[in-house]
Structure 1
Amino acid sequence: MTVDLNIEYYKNSSTFGQSHRSQPVPKMFPRVITICLLGALTEQVFGASDKVICYYASWAVTRPGNGKFVPEDINPNLCTHINYAFAGLNSNGTLQILDEENDVNQGGFKRVSALKEANPNLKVLLSVGGATASTDAFTSIGSDPEKQQVLAQNAIDFFETYNFDGLDVDWEYPYGKETFNALLSGLKSAFEPGGYLLTVAVNSIPGEVGGYDIPTMSSVLDIINVMTYDFHAQYTGQTFENSPLYGGVNESDWQHENRNCDAAIRYWIDGGADPQKVTIGIAFYGHGYTLQDASKHGLGDTAVAPNDPGPYTDNLGSLGYNEICELHTDGTVVFLDDMKVPYLYDDTFWIGYDNEASAAAKVQYAKEKNLAGVFIWSIETDDMHGFCGEENGLLKAINNEMKK
């Protein structure tokens, strides 16, 4: 789904037995500076935006210390949908369980679907694919009607076994429109009699790939999750925001039209997507950098390397929100009023990310554009245990803004 995917690593990581609150609770998140630039002003016309789709990175059960997150840590009343990430695909059309120990033997699938007992309106979907998945199986299945039938029946059997409500297809990225259309249409036809949901996660810059027939996808799918993050790589030599809502006043015209959430959502809607099937993605992580000079810490200043991996997610160049707020309590947060996102600097550490204010701004945007709602990648990197603020602070900010 994003840079935070390393399934094999997490499958083989040791699980630490310490309590979630075994470490001292750090002080509250650092002081905030607001930079008021020429912001994008929009009229507020609220629509029927009500979906909060929570991707759950299931390998978080093996993360150490405060980063460990198990199905029972999910608050089922803060999500309308939970997308269980990830399952794989075999080239013959069958589903591939990537972590049988956690997903099956330890009951991961059933423990997540059991959350529907606390919230009967909750929908639980199985997400297949992800950023590290091979596209070969997707292509093979999409090109063969018999394999499509195998996948559809395999998925339905899975839904019945584990009390799931549908399938989320995260193919990064489809090579041809016809192949993807065939895969989605075949699944939808099989799912409709049982009322099962079919959703996708799609590229935020669809002009850069050739596999999306937007009008057909909109007619077939229940939800289109637009991955509005990872707009800039961490190896560019300067600092960038991970998921700006709008373009910045100092950016080029091309960046304004391609490298922000608004540009991506407009592309999908202008291309033929029903707004009420589109969700905007909110990243519960950021892209981090090592500054060349600690005194030059603005957006676009020189960076010499990505940040070091965090103790929980262990990914070069990114940190989960929980890692940001726990490890950098003495940092300074700057909110960019034009882009509607913050960044934080702490000596030579710099990161562009989402906080409560920017998450709320994206909910406001979803309501203004009459979108279906928002989705989150991914909920286990929220401040889920309240170590540096309110428990599930980002997710609660989203829900509070959704209810206004």
Structure 2
Amino acid sequence: MPRRTSALLAAATLAALIVAPATSAQAHDGQGHRGLQGQRVGYFTQWGIYSGFSAKKVQTSGQAGKLTVINYAFGNVSSDGTCFEASGAGVGDPWADYQRPVGAEESVDGVADADAQQVKGNFNQLRKLKAANPQLKSVISLGGWTWSKYFSDAAATDASRKKFVASCLDLYLLGNLPGVTPGAGAGVFDGIDIDWEYPGGGGDPGNVVRPEDGHNYTLLMQEFRRQLDALGRSAHRHYLLTAAVPANETKADRLEIPQVARQVDWLNLMTYDLHGTWESSTDHNANLYSDSADPAVDNRSYSADRVVRHYLAKGLPPHKAVLGVPFYGYGWTGVPAGDKFGLYQTSTGPARGGNLPYNQIKDLPGTVHYDRQHGATWKYDGTEFWSYDTPELLTRKAQYADWHGLAGVMAWALDNDDAQGSLVAALDKGLSG
């Protein structure tokens, strides 16, 4: 185990082993069979199809066989506080979701969508991925950075919460999609993921914000759990309820962690974007351990480990904590070497747009550096500095999750991996060995 393991983590892990079922770290395929060790959550982006990514690539890369959950990003929240599907720039994309005919060459099973088929597109491909991989489930992730604007309104009152939750279950779980036969979309999703960024503010400047958002978030999660359980009883199954939660401690402290934890299957900790090109000096995107030499003004000495310890101290059981990892990185240019190969140095600005997926960063010029003490990797070529997670580091992060009794790992996003699924394979290695 890492030498920086804290007493808090060790105690919390011991407590989890005492109170949690012996199989808590095992994923199941829905028929009671043991599957992969730990939860392995990967985000599939709705818009990825427009840059050549597809559900078939999740299959052919080997990602699908090593994942337990796909989070489909994203579902939107309307101004009247409901889940909805509607066409329009910045509003939704039902064409990508379930209207686009997928050809045989792009289909998971090699069978093209039929003209008369009710549900096509990404949703039908998710069904095919699950059919080919019995351990795999899919959930609809609601919100994200862009579509969290009206969460506060949806969560504001008992009536608005009931209305919102009912609309989401009707649309995504009962499968009552606009323009198709009622119920035609059933079976695509196995649960709901809430990605409200963020209760109490700090997200997109246009978001509706209330001081009571943190408490209303708890009440919203309770309403989701209540309605999901009621639906599950009638369907004789369990529906997942998860949420993505912030790394920033100020934002995290607005949440009533013990109460929320009782409602969810797990929380996906967004333990990345600790630093980035919104800062002028180079720093780590997602280092595992804190570095006392970190000179940053904001998020000074932040780390994934620090975020985990913060949530555990606030009452999140380890077996309900999922460690987030990035499949992308941030880059600066005009960076002098200093004494740490470009780390903690000034820059002239972002490099190549500021961020890139792993599948591009890996082929950039430069030397990869690995700070084993703090669990961080970067690439530096004498002027460009890229902070990103290599496969070696991702294996170590997955081992960290395993060693500390966490529920597993979550990755943003699958389309940033390479064609061989190297990053998902690295996480699998860390959780399996």
Higher relative contact order (CA 8 A, sep 6+): 1
In the TM superposition, what is the alpha-carbon distance from 1:92 to its structure 2 partner?
2.4
Aligned 8 A contact 1:204 1:229 in 2? yes
Instruction: Return closer, same or farther for 1:258/1:89 CA change in 2, 3 Å cut-off.
Output: farther
1:308 equivalent to 2:352? Answer yes
Name which of structure 1's ranges 183-192 and 340-349 shifts more when overlaid on structure 2. 340-349
Percent of aligned pairs with the same residue? Answer: 30
Q: How does 1:172-211 map to 2 (within 5 A)?
A: 172-175=197-200, 176-193=213-230, 194=232, 195-208=238-251, 211=254
Instruction: Return closer, same or farther for 1:188/1:364 CA change in 2, 3 Å cut-off.
Output: same
Any stretches of 5+ residues in structure 2 without a counterpart?
Answer: 18-24, 26-36, 86-91, 101-120, 176-184, 201-212, 233-237
In the TM superposition, what is the alpha-carbon distance from 1:338 to its structure 2 partner?
1.7
Q: How does 1:303-382 map to 2 (within 5 A)?
A: 303-309=347-353, 317-326=354-363, 328=364, 330-382=365-417
Letter in 1 for 2:57: D
Separation of aligned partners in 2, 1:346 and 1:241: 17
Partner of 1:21: none
Separation of aligned partners in 2, 1:110 and 1:149: 28
Partner of 1:279: 322
Any stretches of 5+ residues in structure 1 without a counterpart?
Answer: 1-38, 310-316, 386-390
Q: TM-score, normalised by structure 2?
A: 0.75
In the TM superposition, what is the alpha-carbon distance from 1:214 to its structure 2 partner?
0.5
Separation of aligned partners in 2, 1:298 and 1:139: 42
Segments ≥4 residues shifted beyond 6 Å: 43-47, 252-257
Separation of aligned partners in 1, 2:297 and 2:275: 13
Partner of 2:38: 50
- Residues 65-112 of structure 1: CA deviation (Å, up to 9, x unaligned): xxx211121132121000000110113232133111111212112211
Q: How does 1:139-158 map to 2 (within 5 A)?
A: 139-157=152-170, 158=172
Aligned 8 A contact 2:338 2:345 in 1? no
Q: Which of 291, 295, 309 matches 2:334?
A: 291
Separation of aligned partners in 2, 1:81 and 1:382: 16
Q: How does 1:22-41 map to 2 (within 5 A)?
A: 40-41=3-4
Partner of 1:59: 47
Q: Secondary structure at the match of 2:284?
A: coil
In the TM superposition, what is the alpha-carbon distance from 1:113 to its structure 2 partner?
2.7
Separation of aligned partners in 1, 2:299 and 2:5: 16
Name which of structure 1's ranges 236-245 and 155-164 shifts more when overlaid on structure 2. 155-164
Partner of 1:130: 144
Name which of structure 1's ranges 194-203 and 256-265 shifts more when overlaid on structure 2. 256-265
Aligned 8 A contact 1:173 1:211 in 2? no
In the TM superposition, what is the alpha-carbon distance from 1:341 to its structure 2 partner?
1.6
1:214 equivalent to 2:257? Answer yes
In the TM superposition, what is the alpha-carbon distance from 1:267 to its structure 2 partner?
0.5
In the TM superposition, what is the alpha-carbon distance from 1:208 to its structure 2 partner?
3.8
Aligned 8 A contact 1:277 1:371 in 2? yes
In the TM superposition, what is the alpha-carbon distance from 1:251 to its structure 2 partner?
2.9
Q: Secondary structure at the match of 1:52?
A: strand
